[in-house]
Amino acid sequence: MAPTPLLEVRDVSVEFATREGAVRAVSQVDLDLVTGETLAIVGESGSGKSQMLLGLLGLTARNGRVSGSARFKGEELVGAGAKRLNQIRGAEIGFVFQDPMTSLNPYLTIGRQLTEPLTVHRRVGSAAATAQAIEMLHAVHITEPERRMQQYPHQLSGGMRQRVAIAMALICRPEMLIADEPTTALDVTVQAQVLSLLREVRERFGTAVILVTHDLGVIAELADRVNVMYAGRIVETGSVDEIFYNCRHPYTQALERSIPQLDDSRLERLVAIAGNPPNPLHLPPGCAFAPRCPYRLDVCDKSVPPLEAVEAGHRKACFYEGALDRMAEPA
């Protein structure tokens, strides 16, 4: 029997009304997240990954409209009242952003920022909150936690700030953590520290994680399942092994080939994806990746391919059914 999903997203779209017309940042996204699972969302700029997350949590900009359904523990998030969303954010869903200075207030001490969610959401007294905060700082491997409680964010290094941001996101023991490119801005050795920490946290607290990133290494390291997004749609979804060893969408394949890797056994020359990422204002009528796709068929320019099962748990949105064996760059 399949476990009940913690988060069930169905047919979510986010549309913005801009001066140049309506822009669909996210189109008809379906997503499932089970307790304790780590789901990675891969995409570049314009893929809509960040807008989708903001849309789920009621954080879309004022000129945006979210449609569809997103049930968190059975409760509908889309269109929920601001007060209820406030309660959920922070207490039941934690956030980590790319830039730790986005989550951290430069004018408040670390201690104050860590204890605030506890006193507000969990109604914990200040002494107990401080004790829990120090314990959380230990959990994220911050040395001398008592001293750090009195410090301000600018006194910490980038890596430490991100760890504090993770501590803040987890302090109320939420069941779900959303991390939007948490290691992109970090140095490689610091990234390794944060990845290792995220793995520990997952094991210790059983938190489900939605990890948004464009780094395939990070995905291989942490994810159980992967959704690949392009131009606001999910183009492939499957387990991490399926996506890496048996990917079926040309974009996924192109991404894997074009990213510089350490491994010696790869080709001398990177296989670039020609063209530019899609402009959400001017999406083509059919598949958005068609202009850059080496396997493009006529039907691809006319209609948007639906997300269909390849195998159990593995789906792709592509009309091309053959093997992905073309190495050459597109004509």
Partner 1 sequence: MSAPILAVRDLRVYFEIRSNEGWLSKPQTLRAVDGVTFDLLQGETLGVVGESGCGKTTMARAVLGLVPVTSGEVLFGGKDLAHLDAGEMRAQRQHLQIIFQDPLASLDPRMTLGQIIAEPLRSFFPKLTASERQAKVVEIMGHVGLLPEQINRYPHEFSGGQAQRIGIARALILRPEVVVCDEPVSALDVSIKAQILNLLSDLQERFGLSLLFIAHDLASVRHASRRVMVLYLGKVMELAPWKDIYRTPLHPYTQALIQAIPPADPKRARSNPVKPLGGELPSPISPPSGCVFRTRCQHAIERCSLEVPLLRPVGESLVACHLAEQIQAASA
Partner 2 sequence: MSAAPNQAVVSIPPVAAISAPAGRSLWADAMARLMQNRFAVASAILLGVIVFAAIIVPWISPYNYYTPQWALLDLPPTWHGGHIFGTDDLGRDLLVRVMWGCRISLFIGLIATIVSVVIGVLWGAAAGFVGGHVDSVMMRIVDILYSVPFIPFVIILVVMFGRDLFLIFVAIGAVSWLDIARIVRGQTLSLGNKEFIEAARASGVSGPSIVVRHLVPNLLGIVVIYATLTVPSVILFEAFLSFLGLGVQAPMTSLGVLVSDGASELQSYPYLLFIPAVFLALIVYCLNYLGDGLRDVLDPKER
Contacting positions for partner 1 (CB under 8 A):
44-45, 157-160, 187-193, 195-196, 199, 214-221, 223, 240-241, 244-245, 254-256, 258-264, 268-274, 276-277
The C-alpha atoms of residue 101 and residue 83 are separated, in whole angstroms, by 25
Q: Please say whether the beta carbons of 172 and 91 come within 8 A.
A: yes
Is 146 a binder of partner 2 (CB under 8 A)? no
Q: What is the closest distance, in whole angstroms, from the C-beta atom of residue 45 to partner 1 in the complex?
A: 6
Q: What is the closest distance, in whole angstroms, from the C-beta atom of residue 275 to partner 2 in the complex?
A: 7
- 123 versus 282: smaller Cβ distance to partner 2: 282
Q: Please say whether the beta carbons of 174 and 6 come within 8 A.
A: no
Among the listed ranges 10-18, 20-28, 155-163, 271-279, the one in contact with partner 2 (CB under 8 A) is 271-279
* Residue 284 binding: pick among partner 1, partner 2, none (C-beta 5-8 Å cut-off by kind): none
Q: Which of 3, 79, 206, 275 binds partner 2 (CB under 8 A)?
A: 275
* Residue 154 binding: pick among partner 1, partner 2, none (C-beta 5-8 Å cut-off by kind): none
- 128 versus 281: smaller Cβ distance to partner 1: 281
Q: Is 232 left (phi over 0), alpha (psi -120 to 50) or beta?
A: left
Other C-beta atoms closer than 10 Å to the C-beta of 9 total 21
Q: What is the closest distance, in whole angstroms, from the C-beta atom of residue 270 to partner 2 in the complex?
A: 11
Longest CA pairwise span in the chain (Å): 67
β-bridge pairing 225-230 and 38-42? parallel
Tell me the two tokens of residue 79: 């269109």
Q: What is the closest distance, in whole angstroms, from the C-beta atom of residue 17 to partner 2 in the complex?
A: 14
Three-state SS letters, 154-192: HHCCHHHHHHHHHHHHHCCCCCEEEEECCCCCCCHHHHH
* Residue 34 binding: pick among partner 2, partner 1, none (C-beta 5-8 Å cut-off by kind): none
* Residue 287 binding: pick among partner 2, partner 1, none (C-beta 5-8 Å cut-off by kind): none
Q: What is the closest distance, in whole angstroms, from the C-beta atom of residue 187 to partner 1 in the complex?
A: 4
Rg (CA), the chain: 21
Q: How many residues bind partner 2 (CB under 8 A)?
A: 5
Beta-bridge partner residues of 13: 67
Q: What is the closest distance, in whole angstroms, from the C-beta atom of residue 329 to partner 2 in the complex?
A: 7
Is 270 a binder of partner 2 (CB under 8 A)? no
The C-alpha atoms of residue 97 and residue 326 are separated, in whole angstroms, by 37
The C-alpha atoms of residue 276 and residue 297 are separated, in whole angstroms, by 19
Q: Which of 83, 154, 276, 328 binds partner 2 (CB under 8 A)?
A: 276
- 17 versus 274: smaller Cβ distance to partner 2: 274
The C-alpha atoms of residue 156 and residue 296 are separated, in whole angstroms, by 50
Burial of 244 from C-beta contacts in 10 A (0-12 / 13-18 / 19+): middle
Beta-bridge partner residues of 282: none
- 210 versus 218: smaller Cβ distance to partner 1: 218
- 59 versus 244: smaller Cβ distance to partner 1: 244
Measure the CA angle with vertex 267, ends 266 and 272; round to 5°.
110
Is 274 a binder of partner 2 (CB under 8 A)? yes
Q: What is the closest distance, in whole angstroms, from the C-beta atom of residue 251 to partner 1 in the complex?
A: 8
Q: What is the closest distance, in whole angstroms, from the C-beta atom of residue 203 to partner 1 in the complex?
A: 12
Helix, strand, or coil (residue 260): coil
- 241 versus 321: smaller Cβ distance to partner 1: 241
Token pair 């760059």 is found at: 329
Interface with partner 2 by CB under 8 A: which residues? Answer: 272, 274-276, 329
